[in-house]
Amino acid sequence: MEKNEQGLGLIDDACASQSLMAGLAARAAAAEAEAGTGGRRAAQPERARRLLLCLDGVPFESIVAAKSAGLFDNFRDPARLLSPFPTLTNVALAEMLGATPPPGYESLYFDRGARCLRGGVSKYLGRRTPDKVPSSYMDELDYQEPLPFEFLIYVATEAVWRADMRRFRDRFVTAPPTRDFFGFLKATDGLLHIGGPEKLAVALRSLDELLRRVQAECGAETEVVLFSDHGMNLEENRRVPLQTHLRGAGYEIVGDLRRPRGRRRVAAPAFGLCGYAALYCGDETDPAELAGELTTLEGVDFSVHREGPDAVAVTGARGRARIRRERRGESTLYRYEQLDGDPLELSNAVAGLARDRLLDARGYAPDDAWLARTALHKYPDAPANVYASLGEPRVGHTADVLVSLRDGHYYGASAFSRLVRLLATHGNALAPSSHAFLMSTHRDFPPYVRAKEARPLLRG
């Protein structure tokens, strides 16, 4: 397909080459200036320069398909980068880069201290001020789209992608060549949500062309590392009427839990059109009962809530189970207890662990044994990932109940859902959304890498 037919191609070769050549002098000058002024970034290790580029929302299977079509053939085989549940950008990148947790799962979130909703569309207005930076990982970025474009990618997706590519290229060629460069291209997420896999395939072709030019100009010793923050289910999705269902069950949906109102109250922030929901309970609302009410709602896969300091309960249409975590010195172990059914479909994994004598007398198995058997599971890295969704501070204001929806279903703001036909989304704990990717022009990675183990591979 010709570039003028793609609608997503780069500017012509002559202009690109001129920009790259002009950037060399600027890069040298910028490097000298940074050395003289003590830039905010730490000195680089004794190795070749590295270009890190995160592609928002690109699934592992999509990058495999691109390589099969001949793209990115200068890269080694991709690894599966296991994104944490809920599979969302700020949650994932904060964990991948060992950064501060974002305050909530999305821009609109529930503040447990204030006991009311915070944020929302106002985040995207004006400049990117400190209060609009959700996590310290953003301090490491050398390029990200201007703040208003975070929202516009879902309105004018292709135009934003073209502009995003140009801005990234221009920023890279003028950056100091003495240190790594870290860019984040968010428009790929919008391309998949609105345009589906076909639009992404065209965008990846233009990106492949750009990266070949960049590496040819910078030298073969420059390592390029491509990765994504989370994956995506590549099917058309419809909205789950979660609030309507809960109201029908006798719950009151509120944005403020400070004043008792005599009914079972639930805060259910609805913002992006994603495959999960985060629910916060009033003092009179039992999380276990709330999770139970959701088992009959079409589109709900399972819900998870805390049961004491070292356990979470998983409730779904396939039954109930409990995940327990135990620390023994430097080791972490998990136990999956089937209370009534098998909501995470882990009975075969449990049987395999028992057969291989990896379960102790109390039913616990080492974390690494669980990982080896569940990295490619329907729910990747279960049970550790599901447990940690509530048992670790992945966000500042952790939900009382997290809901994972089935592929083909989403929850979010009804106003947004009327504007778009959603051809793909993410957020749930299933493999398509959980399997991000990681690949390098210089290094081979393990077949799968947990998000929390990614930083040494990215920044080391």
Q: Is the pLDDT of residue 1 over 90?
A: no
The two tokens of residue 401 are 């109940």
Query: Do 200 and 250 share a domain, yes or no?
Result: no
Question: So what's the pLDDT on residue 2?
Answer: 35
pLDDT digits 0-9 by tens, 58-68: 999 999 999 99
Specify the number of domains making up the chain: 2
Contacts of 241 (CB under 8 A, 6+ apart): 297
Same structural domain, 366 and 440:
no
| Residue-wise pLDDT tens digits, 76-118 | 999 999 999 999 999 999 999 999 999 999 999 999 999 999 9
Whether residues 194 and 278 fall in one domain: no
**115, part of any domain:** no
Instruction: Answer whether residue 108 is part of any domain.
Output: no
Tokens 């704990």 locate to 429
pLDDT tens digit sequence for 370-402:
999 999 999 999 999 999 999 999 999 999 999
Q: Which of 19-33, 118-132, 226-240 has the highest mean pLDDT?
A: 226-240
Q: Is residue 410 domain-shared with residue 443, that is, in the same domain?
A: no
The answer to whether residue 423 is domain-embedded is: no
Tell me: do 409 and 451 sit in the same domain: no
pLDDT band of 418, cuts 50, 70, 90: confident
pLDDT interval class at 135 (50, 70, 90): very high
User: Residue 288 — left, alpha, or beta (φ > 0 → left; ψ -120 to 50 → alpha)?
Assistant: alpha
Report CA-CA distances (Å) from 339 to 107, 312, 319, 405, 427: 36, 12, 8, 21, 26
Q: Which two tokens stand for residue 107?
A: 């821009």
Q: Is 50 exposed, middle or buried (0-12, 13-18, 19+ CB in 10 A)?
A: buried
* Domain contains 201: yes
* HSE (side-chain half, CA atoms, 13 Å) at 367: 15
pLDDT digit string (tens) for 306-317? 999 999 999 999
For residues 270 and 302, membership in a common domain is answered with yes
Domain that holds residue 217: 3-100+135-235+430-459
What is residue 45's DSSP assignment? Answer: P
Answer yes or no: is 125 within a domain: no
Report pLDDT for 148: 64
Amino acid at 125: L
Q: How far is CA 64 from CA 192, 446, 453, in A?
A: 16, 16, 22
pLDDT classification of 35: cutoffs 50, 70, 90: very low
Structural domain includes residue 31: yes
Specify if 190 maps to a domain.
yes
459 or 27, which is more confident: 459
317 and 347 together in one domain: yes
- pLDDT at residue 129, as a whole number: 67
Distances (CA, A) of 181 to 162, 209, 328: 20, 19, 40
Least confident of 53-57, 164-168, 423-427: 164-168
Residue 294 has pLDDT above 60, yes or no: yes
What average pLDDT does range 401-409 have in this prediction? Answer: 98
pLDDT at 435: 98
- 221 and 346 belong to one structural domain: no
Taking the alpha carbons of 404, 408, 414, 419 in that order, is the dihedral positive or negative? positive
Where residue 126 falls among pLDDT bands split at 50, 70, 90?
low
Q: What values do phi and psi take at 135, rounded to 5?
A: -155, 155
411 and 441 co-located in one domain: no
CATH at 231: 3.40.720
In a domain, 112, yes or no: no
pLDDT the model gives residue 127 = 64
In this structure, are 40 and 149 located in the same domain? yes
> Tokens at residue 425, please?
């989304």
**What pLDDT does 155 receive?**
66
Per-residue pLDDT band for 151 (boundaries 50, 70, 90) equals low
pLDDT band at 159 (very low <50, low <70, confident <90, very high): confident
Is pLDDT above 70 for 39? no
What separation, in Å, do the N-terminal and C-terminal C-alpha atoms of the chain show?
A: 39
Provide the percentage of residues in the chain whose pLDDT is more than 90.
75
Indicate whether 270 and 368 sit together in one domain: yes
Do both 220 and 306 map to the same domain? no
pTM, full prediction: 0.88
